[in-house]
Copies of this chain bind each other. A is one copy, B any other.
Amino acid sequence: MAETKPVFLVIGAGAGIGGHAAKRFAAGGYHAVLARRSDEDGLARLVGEIENAGGSASGVLLNASEDGAIEDLVARIESDIGPIDSALYNLGAQIGNRTLHDTPHKTFELGWRLGCYGVFRLAHAMFPAMVERGKGSLLVTSATAAVRGNAGQHSHAAAMGGRRMLCQTLNAEFGPQGVHVAHVVVDGPVRSPDTLVKLLGDKWDAFEAAKGEEGIIDPAVLAETYWHLAQQPRNCWSHELDVRPFNDVPWWNDNPDPTINSRAGKPGFAGPGE
């Protein structure tokens, strides 16, 4: 079907980041394989949109936390569709803020399965062929929780912190073999129809009004950055970068508005001195 096209595999291909990345890579000449857990109709719609735009794509339902599922998918693509040139691991493990008491052991483990173990499994299955071809890339959508652990984020932060370190070990071993691993810290809200928009429901309009249209990441725009990363010649690769809307507060900053900053003026107090 897509014999002459390089394959771009998206694990976690909803209508937001994953779907838009698939569209961007398809527009750039890739055959996109979109994998997601559920919503066969939504999946077919995304594939259809890519094909209507003249691109090549296929879709598959995938329970990434199931043993063997990722491995089988990679094997099937390599044998039936073509060599995977680039992949995007776009599964999250966000379950909202929960106290430790309200974070059951099974939940914590599932967070790890989706947030960290899945990246390991994808790399394990996919990298050998990339190494043989001396070429490939793995993009990983990550979250602020990979670099700091907020209250209530036990499961998510532990999974994402592991994910980030794993991306470093993968890069250390596979970079010199030609496989580009990039870890992207998405530090702001994303206009994702299947997640954020759905989650907010009736509150979306108020949310958008408060943030402003440009205060929410457009997944089509983020897809351009993913495309740029995957196309960087290997003399100049980026391993880690952050993205957020211009008017958002980066994770390392206090909110400058003293009315909503519990630490207003703190820098004025904390410094050494006398």
Contacts and interface: CB of A to CB of B under 8 A. Distances in A.
A36 B217 CA distance: 37
Contacts of A266: 144, 188-189
Contacts of A261: 255, 260, 262
A44 to B, nearest CB: 15
Interface string A156-178: 11111111111111111111101
Contact of A116 (B101, B162, B250): B162
Interface string A5-46: 000000011111111000000000000000010000000000
A243 B249 contact: no
A178 to B, nearest CB: 6
B143 A271 contact: yes
Given A150-B169, A166-B161, A242-B238, A143 B175 contact: no
A142 B148 CA distance: 16
A163 to B, nearest CB: 7
A133 interface: no
Contacts of A238: 225, 241-243
A257 interface: yes
A49 interface: no
Contacts of A120: 105, 108, 154, 158
A149 B148 CA distance: 16
B145 A267 contact: yes
Interface of A: 12-19, 36, 90-94, 96-97, 99-101, 103, 105, 108-109, 112, 116-117, 120-121, 123-124, 127-128, 141-154, 156-176, 178, 180, 186-190, 192, 194-196, 199, 213-218, 221-222, 224-225, 228, 232-257, 260-263, 265-274
